[in-house]
Every structure is written in structure tokens, then in C-alpha cells.
């Protein structure tokens, strides 16, 4: 999906022989590929509607007999002379694989009109069919990639193409429409609140007016042109911190002179719009037919939906072999930054120790198991779930997610009515509140939203840097409610989905409620672990908006957070509640109108209740 992180994802940290390819300079990698592989550049592969997709094929020169194939499909400029692609291709051909890289339609030398995820249910299927018809193919294909190069794989897996033997989706959240408790429509929403990352991403990726070569140009000339001209217009730089504040939200790109395109179509949709079913998103009623090795990250944009999908696929049973062969690895890095998994990893302000993991060995062992039939390469005894526990700074293994030993522990939001800021009296307690406990009240002004600092995010033009950043500058605000436990006398591991239930009221017809889970160190540093948000109008379902009424207490259940963290001895558990998290999430203007088409806003006076009749709490999956 995201162009800003490509440089960090394309080299996977691993021991030899993968590290050997990674050590090559750009020129050396190109030469090594030339020595080791037969390269067919800019092959125009036809889709069923006649549109042709630009494709590079790498095959080992010393191959004997048909080859298994690894397919990397991308909207990015990774064909031609791309040195990172050369390194990946070198790893593949040295291991006895054909390696195919294909641009999505409407991108660079591929024909047609761009569509997010590149029509995975047709273009993806047709690409697999084309590969299996080649004389060098053994009929088995594995799909590989991170972000956009992973997300198109999800809807393809529902097609259960006979050649699709295995897949490795990394950070694939924007390929998920609705799964279980999450209805994010490809990360466009969280809890019904639009995320800003796609506003920026679409501006960088989509070019409705783009140059194209004549359709009848001969193959040799096309390949030659592709070697020095990627057909990609360069756009002027944008001051995103200024632009992201523009109202109405639906004019953020048109104000830059962009012609109407995907952004305008998507921003006009509600979270339950049937149009979300017409694209390339995966929905949980589509079935699943492919064994998968998932790679996800705690500080990614969509760790919750990714883990929910992993669980769903294991339980779907539309293809028993596929359901029985789902494995996931969850690391502490940011989106697609798996190359950072090495000693001394620091996320934001937090030292995360040594999260080294032989990713390349796992990936190629997985493909050897399913594409070459070598069961020893990826043993059945491999844990279904491998996850890194922050705070403890160690890898753990489990047969399921959350781990079977996780027990739900409820912690209540409590105060004397003054939980405003970290200097208030808010506390997180195992004891339920009594009758009559005063609510906490604050003012949410859309003109002065609470700033996003860290957490899970990506690909937003530098608006937000993901990671475990200290939240105290935010917690100093009076419009942030802060609830903190007593210092722990023993370490406490929280691994699983973290759910919040808030009893709220407002004098506005609609507003948002944002929640954070924070690990507070003995010195006061407040490391964000995860966050979530919920638009109040969607509290009873995305298909039936229900507005707030002054004086009434409503129940809001934000989509679950997900993490694995050990709160050390002397640490405290903290929960923040407020009504904005900007610029990660678009601001609610509080009018109850069409929020993304409005410029007018009203100030909301919001409250979180916590008495015997209206308890607010979080539920933590505690691993004993």
C-alpha cells in the first residue's frame, strides 16, 4: 500500500544466503542477477478484459525442469532497474524459484486505469493463470509482499486458484473490508472515523492524467523505454501539516488542483456503503483457500484487524487444509520495517531490546514447504503464533491468539470527577465504582484537537511518526482524561485484544471518543501501546447512525486494541480518554451533519460516566 516505507521493507533481515544478497551494492546486485538469471523485462501480460500488465520475469540460468514461482505484485516503481528488486530476485533464483514482479493496472507501464489493490479478484487470478501456462512453471505459485503487495493477496485467497499454493502477506490491513468486530473498509475508517493516511497516500500514488506508450509498440522497444522512463509524473511537494487542517475534508486534494478520483469517491461513502464490496477488499463472508504465513507489527496501522483476520481464517473451514495452516509472526516494528528487527531496536522513546528474527529463513522455508513439497523446511511443529512481548523484550509462542493462558481482567475508570490531565484524580482500579460517583467532564474544540503522538500508523507524508512515544505532553491537557493504576508490585503481561466500554454523554449530536493504552515507567515516561477511536453516531452499528441526546448516557464500545506488553514491577497501567487524535484521525465537527462535507463546527461538552449504574472500564487479557 504505502510508498513512504518501501525502502525499509524490501530487504529482510536474515542470515546467509539472504544476507549475502543484501550486502551487494546496487551495481553488484544488478551484475549478480545478470550472471544468475534469465531476465524477461516488461512482458505485457493480458488480463481477461484485454488490459496488459507490465511484468518482469527472473529465472535461474541453471534450472533443470519446471520451476515454482514467487509473485510480487505492486503499485510501486519496482520493475526495470530497481536495485532492491534485483536483490530479491537474486535470493529467489539462487533458491531455485522463478521470480515474477508485476505492476498493477494503471501504474507505470501497465495499461488501464488505476484501482486500489489492482482488481485482485480478476487481475490476480489472471496473473496466476498466465504463470501456470508458461513452459518454465511447475504450476505452483506463492505470493509475497508487504503493504499493498500483501493486501491484494487477501481477496485473491478467497478465489482459491488451483495454482495459489501459499502466501506471505506482511502488514496487509488495508486489504481488509470487514472482519469480525472490525469494519474499517481498508483502513479508510477506524470506528467510523476517517483516517488521514489515505488522503496523503492517494495524492502520492494516483495520477488520473498520466503518459502511456502506444499499445502497438514492439516488445523490445517497450523494454528499452522502460529502462530509462518509468512514465511516472512527479507532483509538487505539499505542506501536509497545513493541508490536513483544511475544511471541508472532501476538498483536501481538490484544493491542490487534483482532478476528482478515488479520494472523492471514498470520502463520500459511509462505513456500511455497499460500494465497499465492489473493489478489491476482503470481507469475512468470502471464504479462504490458501495456507498463509502472516507478518504483522504492534505499531502498524491495522494490527487489530490483521489478528482478527488470522483468527477468522483459522475458523472459517471453507478449505480445511488452508485453515489448518495459518501461522502469524507479530513483531514490535513499524509498518513494513522488518529490516529493523535487530539488536538495539528503539521504537519512539522506548528501547525494545533484541527482536532479531530469521524472517528470510521463515519465508523461504514456508515456500519450500508448499511450492517444493519439502515438509522439513517448515515443520508442522512450528508455533502457530510467534509474538514479541514488549517490556519483557522477548519472543513468545502460542497455539492461538490471544494465548490460551490469557484471562480477562476488568479495570474500571474511577475518579472524584477531576480526571482531567495527568495531574487530576483519575485512577484505574479493579474495584467497581459506587453509586453516585461523579463523572469526568471536558470540552472538545475541533479548532484545538488533541495532537497525535506515536501509536500505530504509517504512510502519511510525515504527519505522524509511529512508535512508542511518551504521551505526557498530551496528558497535560485538560481535555484529556487520564486514569492510572497504582504501581504494580509484580510484573503483569497483557497479550491479546484490549476492549474498552465507555458510558458517555454530550451536548452535541455527534462526537468522537478516543482511547489509549499506556505503560507508565517508574520515572513517569508514558509509552503508548495502542489506541482506538469510535464515532458516537455509529455506536449501535455502522448501518444505523444514532445521534446523541443531551442528558442521556450512551454506551460506546471502540474497536479493540491489540498488543503484547509486560508492565514491569513499579510500572503503572494508564488509560486516556478524549475526543480527538489528530491528524491521525479526521476531526469530528460535532454538528451531526455530513462531517466530511462541512466547514462549520461546534464545541462539544463531553462527559465520561463511572458510577454503579454506568461503569466505564477496560478489559485486559492478562497472561498469568
Query: What is the C-alpha separation between 300 and 328, in angstroms, rounded?
Result: 15
Same fold? 3-398, 406-623: no
Residues 6+ apart with CB under 8 A from 300: 171, 173, 306, 334, 335, 456, 458, 466
Query: What is the C-alpha separation between 97 and 252, in angstroms, rounded?
Result: 45
Q: Is 571 a catalytic residue?
A: no
Q: Under a CB-based contact definition with an 8 Å cutoff, are residues 354 and 364 in contact? A: no
Task: Give the pLDDT of residue 208.
Answer: 78
Task: Give the pLDDT of residue 2.
Answer: 42
Q: Is 580 a catalytic residue?
A: no
| Range 3-398: architecture per CATH | 3-Layer(aba) Sandwich (3.40)
Residues 6+ apart with CB under 8 A from 541: 272
Torsion of CA 393, 398, 401, 406, to 10 degrees: -80
- Collect the ranges in the chain with pLDDT lower than 70: 1-22
Q: Under a CB-based contact definition with an 8 Å cutoff, are residues 587 and 449 in contact? A: yes
The one catalytic residue in 335, 571, 609, 610 is 335
Task: Give the pLDDT of residue 21.
Answer: 61
pLDDT (tens digit per residue) in 205-229: 998 778 888 888 888 888 888 888 8
CA 582 to chain centre: 18
Q: Is 335 a catalytic residue?
A: yes
Q: What is the DSSP letter of 614?
A: S
The one catalytic residue in 56, 250, 284, 300 is 300
Query: What is the C-alpha separation between 581 and 160, in angstroms, rounded?
Result: 39
Q: Under a CB-based contact definition with an 8 Å cutoff, are residues 345 and 393 in contact? A: no
Torsion of CA 28, 33, 34, 36, to 10 degrees: 120
pLDDT (tens digit per residue) in 71-127: 999 999 999 888 899 999 999 999 999 999 999 999 999 999 998 887 878 999 999
pLDDT (tens digit per residue) in 390-426: 999 999 999 999 999 999 999 999 999 999 999 999 9
In sequence order, what are the beta bridge partners of 386? Answer: 329, 397
Query: What is the C-alpha separation between 127 and 46, in angstroms, rounded?
Result: 8
pLDDT (tens digit per residue) in 31-67: 888 899 999 999 999 999 999 999 999 999 988 899 9
User: Given 3.30.420.140, 2.60.120.260, 3.90.226.10, 3.30.390.10, which CATH number is that of 406-623?
Assistant: 2.60.120.260
Q: Where are the domains of the chain?
A: 3-398, 406-623
- With CA atoms as reference, report the closest residue to 620 among 576, 568, 579, 561: 561
Q: H or E stretch including 513?
A: strand 512-520
Q: What is the DSSP letter of 485?
A: P
Q: Model's pTM, two decimal places? A: 0.94
Other C-beta atoms closer than 10 Å to the C-beta of 319 total 18
Q: Under a CB-based contact definition with an 8 Å cutoff, are residues 342 and 375 in contact? A: no
Q: Cell 477506524 maps to which residue?
A: 190
- Sequential DSSP letters for 317-376: -SSHHHHHTEEEEEEEEETT-GGG-STT-EETTEE-------HHHHHHHHHHHHHS--GG
- With CA atoms as reference, report the closest residue to 185 among 77, 103, 262, 126: 262
Kind of pairing between the strands at 67-74 and 512-520: unpaired
The one catalytic residue in 110, 147, 347, 485 is 147
Amino acid at each position: 500500500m504505502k510508498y513512504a516505507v518501501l525502502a525499509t521493507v524490501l530487504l529482510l533481515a536474515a542470515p546467509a544466503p539472504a544476507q549475502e544478497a543484501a550486502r551487494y551494492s546496487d551495481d553488484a546486485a544488478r551484475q549478480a542477477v545478470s550472471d544468475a538469471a534469465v531476465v524477461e523485462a516488461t512482458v505485457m501480460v493480458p488480463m481477461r478484459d484485454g488490459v496488459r500488465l507490465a511484468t518482469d520475469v527472473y529465472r535461474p540460468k541453471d534450472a533443470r525442469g519446471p520451476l515454482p514461482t514467487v509473485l510480487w505484485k505492486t503499485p510501486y516503481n519496482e520493475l526495470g532497474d530497481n536495485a532492491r528488486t534485483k536483490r530479491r530476485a537474486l535470493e529467489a533464483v539462487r533458491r531455485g524459484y522463478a521470480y515474477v514482479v508485476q505492476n498493477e493496472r494503471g501504474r507505470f507501464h501497465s495499461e488501464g486505469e488505476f484501482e486500489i489493490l489492482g482488481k485482485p479478484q480478476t487481475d490476480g487470478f489472471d496473473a496466476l493463470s498466465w504463470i501456470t501456462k508458461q513452459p518454465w512453471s511447475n504450476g505452483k505459485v506463492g505470493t509475497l509482499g508487504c503493504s499493498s503487495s500483501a493486501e491484494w493477496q487477501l481477496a485473491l485467497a478467497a478465489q482459491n486458484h488451483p495454482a495459489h499454493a501459499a502466501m506471505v502477506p506482511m502488514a496487509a490491513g488495508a486489504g481488509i473490508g470487514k472482519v469480525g468486530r472490525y469494519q474499517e473498509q481498508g483502513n479508510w475508517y477506524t470506528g467510523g472515523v476517517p483516517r488521514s493516511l489515505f488522503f496523503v497516500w492517494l495524492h502520492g500514488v494516483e495520477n488520473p492524467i498520466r503518459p502511456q506508450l502506444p499499445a502497438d509498440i514492439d516488445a523490445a522497444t517497450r523494454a528499452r523505454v522502460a529502462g530509462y522512463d518509468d512514465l511516472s509524473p512527479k507532483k509538487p511537494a505539499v505542506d501536509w501539516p497545513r493541508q490536513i487542517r483544511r475544511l471541508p475534508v472532501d476538498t483536501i486534494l481538490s484544493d491542490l488542483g487534483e482532478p476528482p478520483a478515488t479520494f472523492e469517491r471514498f470520502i463520500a461513502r459511509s462505513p456500511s456503503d455497499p460500494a465497499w464490496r465492489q473493489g478489491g477488499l476482503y470481507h469475512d463472508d468470502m471464504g479462504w483457500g490458501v495456507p498463509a504465513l502472516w507478518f504483522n507489527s504492534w505499531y502498524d496501522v491495522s494490527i487489530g484487524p490483521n489478528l482478527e483476520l488470522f483468527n477468522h481464517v483459522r475458523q472459517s473451514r471453507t478449505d480445511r487444509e488452508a485453515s489448518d495452516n495459518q501461522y502469524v509472526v507479530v513483531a514490535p516494528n513499524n509498518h513494513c520495517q522488518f529490516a529493523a528487527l535487530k539488536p538495539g531496536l528503539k521504537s519512539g522513546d522506548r528501547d525494545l531490546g533484541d527482536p532479531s528474527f530469521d524472517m528470510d529463513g521463515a519465508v523461504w522455508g514456508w515456500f519450500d514447504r508448499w511450492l517444493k513439497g519439502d515438509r522439513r523446511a517448515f515443520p508442522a511443529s512450528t508455533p502457530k503464533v510467534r509474538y514479541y512481548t514488549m517490556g519483557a523484550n522477548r519472543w513468545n509462542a502460542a497455539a492461538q491468539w490471544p494465548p490460551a493462558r490469557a484471562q480477562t481482567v476488568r479495570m474500571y475508570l474511577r475518579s472524584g470527577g477531576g480526571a482531567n490531565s495527568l495531574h487530576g484524580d483519575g485512577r484505574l482500579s479493579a474495584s467497581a465504582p459506587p453509586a453516585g460517583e461523579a463523572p469526568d467532564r471536558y470540552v472538545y474544540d475541533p479548532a484545538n484537537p488533541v495532537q497525535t503522538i506515536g501509536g500505530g500508523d504509517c504512510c502519511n507524508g510525515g504527519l505522524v511518526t509511529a512508535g512508542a512515544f511518551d504521551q505526557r505532553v498530551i496528558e497535560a491537557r485538560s481535555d484529556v482524561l487520564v486514569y492510572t493504576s497504582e504501581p504494580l508490585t509484580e510484573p503483569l503481561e497483557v497479550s491479546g485484544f484490549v476492549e474498552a466500554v465507555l458510558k458517555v454523554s454530550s451536548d452535541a449530536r455527534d462526537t468522537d471518543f478516543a482511547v489509549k493504552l499506556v505503560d507508565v515507567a517508574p520515572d513517569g515516561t508514558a509509552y503508548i501501546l495502542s489506541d482506538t477511536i469510535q464515532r458516537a453516531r455509529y455506536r449501535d452499528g455502522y448501518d444505523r447512525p444514532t445521534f446523541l441526546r443531551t442528558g442521556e448516557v450512551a454506551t460506546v464500545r471502540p474497536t479493540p486494541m491489540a498488543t503484547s506488553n509486560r508492565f514491569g514491577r513499579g510500572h503503572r497501567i494508564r488509560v486516556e480518554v478524549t475526543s480527538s487524535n489528530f491528524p491521525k484521525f479526521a476531526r469530528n465537527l460535532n454538528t451531526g451533519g455530513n462531517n466530511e462535507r462541512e466547514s462549520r463546527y461546534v464545541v462539544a461538552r463531553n462527559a465520561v460516566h463511572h458510577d454503579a449504574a454506568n461503569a466505564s472500564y477496560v478489559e485486559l487479557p492478562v497472561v498469568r
